[in-house]
Every structure is written in C-alpha cells, then in structure tokens.
Amino acid sequence: MAFSEYQLMSVLAQEMNMRKAAERLFVSQPALSQRLQNIEKEWGTKLFIRSQKGLSLTPAGELVVKLSQEMLQKEEKVKEEIQAMQSKVHGTLKIACASIVGQNWLPQVLKKFVDTYPHAKISLITGWSSEILEALYEDEVHIGIIRGTADWKGPKYHLFTDRLYLVDREIQNVEEVLKTDRPFIQFKSDSNYYQEIQDWWHRQFQSVPKRTIVVDQIETCKQMTFNGIGYAILPAITLNSVEENLYKIPLMDEKKGSIHRDTWLLGYDSAFQLKQVKAFVEIVEEFLEENSTSIL
C-alpha cells in the first residue's frame, strides 16, 4: 500500500462514512469506493462492511487500519527529523500537560512560542500527571509537563514551585476551620496531590471536615470558593489574579516550612534533539527568567 492508501484507510476508520471521508480526502464518493475496492482486492478480503447507517470494520479491517495508523505515525516522525535538520523551526510540537498548568501558565508560554516561530504547529493534550507520564511512555508526545514528584529517568527541567493555600472569604486563620460549618470544597486530582492534602489535614486537625463538596475540576472548585460557597485548598498558580476580600492562609508542614507543589518538564533525549522542542525549551527558559516572581 502507498502512503495515500494508508491515509485513506485511516480517514475511513475515523469517519465510518463514505461521504464524509470523501470530503476530507477531496475525492468523489465513486472514486473513493473504487480505491477501497482495489485495496480490499490487494488484501484479498473485505475490510469494511457497508450499510445504510455507514461503515463498520471487519476484523481484517481493524488490522489494516492499525497498520495504516502506525505507518502514518512513522512517516510523520521521519518528516519531523528531516525538518529538524533545516534552519527554520517547523514540525509539530506535541505537549502533554497537567490540566492546572495548561489553564493557568502554559497559554502565556505558547503565545510567545507561536509569535516567535509561526511555522511550527502545536498539539496539546491535558490531564492528570499520571496520564501525562503514560503519554510519554507511549511516545505519543515529545514533552510532558507534570506536577509533583518527577520520577523520570530521562532529561527533566524544574519549571517552578508554588505554595498551597487554604482560601476562603470568611476564614482568616487555620484555627477557624474547626469552628465553621462552611463546606470544604475539594477537586478530584491525582493520588499524590490528594494524599498531600490529606496528610496536612490530619496533622493539623486530627479529624475529618464537617461538610465536604467534591467537584471534578480545579476551576470549578476555585469559582465556588471565590463566590463564597465554602473554603478550599488551592495552589498559588490559580491565585495570581486573586479577588479582594479573599483570605489566603499558607499551608505549613510539621517543620513550619511551606507546603508547595513543583512543576517539571520531562522528555526523552531524542525529543530534545528536535528543533521545535529545543525552541520551546528556550522560550520556557526566557519566560521563567522574565516572570521569576509571578508564582508565590
């Protein structure tokens, strides 16, 4: 199969519809149908079952689609390596980033990157730090940005440290937490962060919160806190544009030191050889130097 045929199989598997696939491939439906028949003839078996509802893959089709996607990924990787040899920064920069960093820090860095290197493209996925590491292990991205402890054997760069705060519109010191009936608003996070909060809470109070509200996103938690629904523990990265009449109480460990979260940039040696990755790291270093005191 030629690379155009691998692309054809990949698009058909994504759309599962001849008309939509033909539109994406800029060919007519009859021409696409003929090309698919030729591919099926080449493999000696049906790859798609056609019906009024669209297409469905046969077991053989699943294998050929998997091969097609692997070949397209290999082709893209070779193109990136060739582009890395050229003087201009081209290619796609593939980043997996912890959601909280993607919402509050990364957009400013990416703005600087795209302004400096307009020929480069960006592919960004966000999630929990555990999901970022998985994307790196599976070679789905060039670099990952995670929160917490960086258990990584490849190259890693420390980006910044930010403190954790107990945030509320009414509570002004930690002792008031035991007296209030206001709910503790928590957001779902990776186990490392959750355990850190739990450890601090039990050291501080030796009890559980009277009332708890659990939300799925840190931004929801932040907005509920800002609107006076309850109190929360939030990292400084989310509080740069903090509103008035909002109290921030820093969390302290047993040695009276501040409890904080570290943010790291990780990747494999091979990825850091790519011109677009090198350029991004340079932009990050410039940004951190210019904004070294923006996260407290």
Q: Which residues pair with 144 in a beta bridge?
A: 96, 266
CA angle (198, 201, 186) in 5-degree steps: 60
Where among 25, 49, 83 does a domain terminate? 83
- The CATH number of residue 76's host domain is 1.10.10.10
- CA–CA distance, 122 with 126 (Å, rounded to integer): 13
Pair 148, 182 in one domain: no
- The pLDDT value given to residue 243: 65
What pLDDT does residue 217 have? 85
What gap in Å lies between CA 53 and CA 50, rounded to an integer?
8
Question: Is residue 228, in this structure, part of any structural domain at all?
Answer: yes
Cα separation of 131 and 122, whole Å? 19
Question: Last residue of a domain, which of 83, 107, 132?
Answer: 83
On whether both 153 and 223 belong to a single domain, the answer is no
Give the structural domain span for 223.
Answer: 162-260
- 53's tokens: 């509802």
144 and 205 inside one domain? no
Is residue 192 one of the residues assigned to a domain? yes
Same domain, 178 and 67: no
Q: What angle do CA 102, 104, 110 make, to 5 degrees?
A: 60
pLDDT the model gives residue 190? 72
pLDDT at 267 over 90: yes
pTM for the model stands at: 0.67
Residue 90 has pLDDT above 60, yes or no: yes
Looking at the chain, which runs of residues are DSSP E strands? 48-51, 54-57, 92-98, 121-127, 143-147, 156-168, 184-187, 212-215, 231-235, 247-250, 260-267
Q: Would residue 111 count as lying in a domain?
A: yes
Are residues 156 and 268 both part of a single domain? yes
* Cα–Cα distance, 83 to 218 (Å, whole number): 38
For the chain, what is the domain count? 3
Same domain, yes or no: 156 and 272: yes
Q: Supply the Cα-derived Rg of the chain in whole angstroms.
A: 25
Question: Is position 42 within any domain?
Answer: yes
DSSP conformational letter for 238? G
Tokens of 224: 């509920």
Q: What is the CATH number of the domain that holds 227?
A: 3.40.190.290
101 within domain boundaries: yes
Interval 37-73: pLDDT, tens? 999 999 999 999 999 889 999 999 999 999 999 999 9
In a domain, 240, yes or no: yes
Same domain, 254 and 191: yes
Last residue of a domain, one of 83, 111, 131: 83
92-98 and 121-127 beta bridge pairing: parallel
Domain shared by 63 and 78, yes or no = yes
Evaluate whether residue 296 is within a structural domain: no
Which residue, among 102, 83, 115, has the nearest Cα to 277 in the 3D structure? 83
Q: What is the Cα–Cα distance from 8 to 25, expressed in whole angstroms? A: 7
DSSP string, 206-223: SS--SSEEEES-HHHHHH
Domain of residue 107, CATH code: 3.40.190.10
Has residue 295 been placed in a domain? no
pLDDT in tens, 145-166: 999 877 788 899 999 998 999 9
Do 244 and 185 share a structural domain? Answer: yes
Residues 102 and 153 reside in one and the same domain: yes
| Partners of residue 143 on adjacent β-strands | 95, 267
Confidence of residue 292 (pLDDT cuts 50, 70, 90): low
